[in-house]
Amino acid sequence: MTKLTQRIQRIQASPTLAITAKAKALKALGVDVIGFGAGEPDFDTPEHIKKAAIDSLKSGKTKYTPVGGVNELKDAIIEKLKRDNQLEYSREQILTSCGGKHSLYNIAQVLFESGDEVIIPAPYWVSYPDQVLLNDAKPVIVNTQEKNLFKITPEELSQAITPKTKAFILNSPSNPTGTAYTREELEALANILVDKQILCISDEIYEKIVYDGFEFCSMASLNNDIKNLTIIVNGASKVYSMTGWRMGFTAGPKEIIAAMSKLQGQVTSNISTPTQWACVEAYNGSQDFLKEWVAAFCERRNYIVERLNAIAGIQCFKPQGAFYVFPNISSYLGKTFQNKKLETDLDFCDFLLDEAKVACVAGSGFGAPGFMRLSYATSMENIQKGIDRIEEVLSKIDE
Ligand SMILES: *Cc1c(COP(=O)(O)O)cnc(C)c1O
């Protein structure tokens, strides 16, 4: 048997991809599965963005570019950061990579090593702990409380800090809970990070998907001290419905971006050239379509939260952003269905897939057993049908 590295044996395959694969396999067999697993918008990439990619191909923009991206793209990102976040960055402070996931991986590679601790609030996005582990560092998971709307408190952050703490990973709005931090809440966390000189990795990929007038605030925009410690991760995947195009970016201190750029130059080089030109248009072009998308997401959120909360034994927090809900299903654990005991949230999600033909992702994968994640990036019709089915099978569960 080939001996694989310790590093690769330390990590797990993405659980969100696993349920999506299982649901797809059932669909292929002709089963009518309702999927709440997908972590991507159901809208098509806007036409003007697609056209920019086609035009770039037609005009021969098909070759290597500088590792971090063409200047036009860096400038479009710099303008975006100014316009949306009141932040000033120079070209040396921007790097584009193959999706936000790749941006985060580059960060982990240049910052983390054996002996380092990285604070991650749970529920967390599945890749954070594994990327830390891949780089021989230790993820320090801090369980947030549902009653605190799944947000880490300043006390919880302070308590998790040790002399080994290298960084804190913040994700607002969050995947999987949809929770989002206000400016005041960020300020309280920033004070601690600045005081202890701990880096902040701020994953802002859902920035534009917020509801009811919630005002998104970027950690780096609070003041210069925290800006100098923050690496922003953002990208086109969620906001422009461009998950397959692969563009994420980082904005941060020059020396960190330079190190990441050196690494990327030896690993992948630049991201796809037509994707870069599509993203120039995404950032510089009209943002009007977003209003419609966010309104559609908001309507679905209101509906799904109301329906879930109307089911006995389910408690669902109403999130401020992203396109996920994260209901507490723990009251069903330990109960039985046809003599089979539902011990864990994984059993519960398997039960929903088998009996209701509805795919949800178990909370355990996000470090939150007793919960599950539903993505409402799917049509109202699907949401209606899916929740009807969940309601129906849950009524058959024995005490
Ligand atoms: C989707 C997502 C990303 C980025 O995904 P890419 O497809 O690699 O751009 C990053 N962070 C979170 C929390 C996400 O949900």
Per-residue pLDDT tens digits for 73-82: 999 999 999 9
Question: What value does the mean pLDDT take over residues 49-62?
Answer: 98
Nearest Cα residue to atom 15 of ligand 1: 175
205 ligand 1 Cβ < 6 A: yes
Domain 61-284 belongs in CATH node 3.40.640.10: yes
**Nearest CA among 356, 361, 371 for reference residue 314:** 371
Which of 97, 101, 127 maximizes ligand 1 atoms within 8 Å of its Cβ, making it the mutation to test the pocket? Answer: 101
Share of the chain above pLDDT 90, in %: 93
Statement: residue 19 has pLDDT above 80: no
Which of 127, 169, 175 maximizes ligand 1 atoms within 8 Å of its Cβ, making it the mutation to test the pocket? Answer: 175
Question: What value does the mean pLDDT take over residues 168-196?
Answer: 98
Residue-wise pLDDT for 95-146, tens only, equals 999 999 999 999 999 999 999 999 999 999 999 999 999 999 999 999 999 9
Which of 238, 245, 375 maximizes ligand 1 atoms within 8 Å of its Cβ, making it the mutation to test the pocket? Answer: 238
175 ligand 1 Cβ < 6 A: yes
What pLDDT score was predicted for residue 20? 78
Residues of the chain with CATH 3.90.1150.10: 6-44+289-394
More confident residue, 399 or 45: 45
What pLDDT score was predicted for residue 67? 97
Confidence class for position 1, pLDDT limits 50, 70, 90: confident
- Averaged confidence pLDDT in the chain: 96
234 ligand 1 Cβ < 6 A: no
Residue-wise pLDDT for 184-194, tens only, equals 999 999 999 99
Task: Give dist(CA 210, CA 331) in Å, integer.
Answer: 29
Angle, CA of 30, 33 and 37, to the nearest 5°: 135
What pLDDT score was predicted for residue 192? 98
On whether the CB atoms of residues 336 and 343 are closer than 8 A, the answer is no
Question: What value does the mean pLDDT take over residues 328-337?
Answer: 95
β-strand partners of 142: 121
Residue-wise pLDDT for 368-379, tens only, equals 999 999 999 999
Share of the chain above pLDDT 70, in %: 99
Domain 6-44+289-394 belongs in CATH node 3.90.1150.10: yes
CA of 36 to the centre of ligand 1 (A): 17
Which ligand 1 atom is at minimum distance from the Cα of 103? 8
Could you tell me the pTM of the whole model? 0.96
Residue-wise pLDDT for 243-265, tens only, equals 999 999 999 999 999 999 999 99
Identify the weakest region by mean pLDDT among 52-61, 143-152, 177-186, 335-344.
335-344
Which ligand 1 atom is at minimum distance from the Cα of 171? 13
Statement: residue 18 has pLDDT above 80: no
Residue-wise pLDDT for 274-317, tens only, equals 999 999 999 999 999 999 999 999 999 999 999 999 999 999 99
Question: What value does the mean pLDDT take over residues 350-366?
Answer: 94
CA of 378 to the centre of ligand 1 (A): 18
CA of 102 to the centre of ligand 1 (A): 9
Statement: residue 230 has pLDDT above 80: yes
Residues of the chain with CATH 3.40.640.10: 61-284
CA of 39 to the centre of ligand 1 (A): 8
Question: What value does the mean pLDDT take over residues 224-232?
Answer: 98
Classify the C-alpha dihedral 203-206-211-213 as positive or negative: positive
What pLDDT score was predicted for residue 204? 98
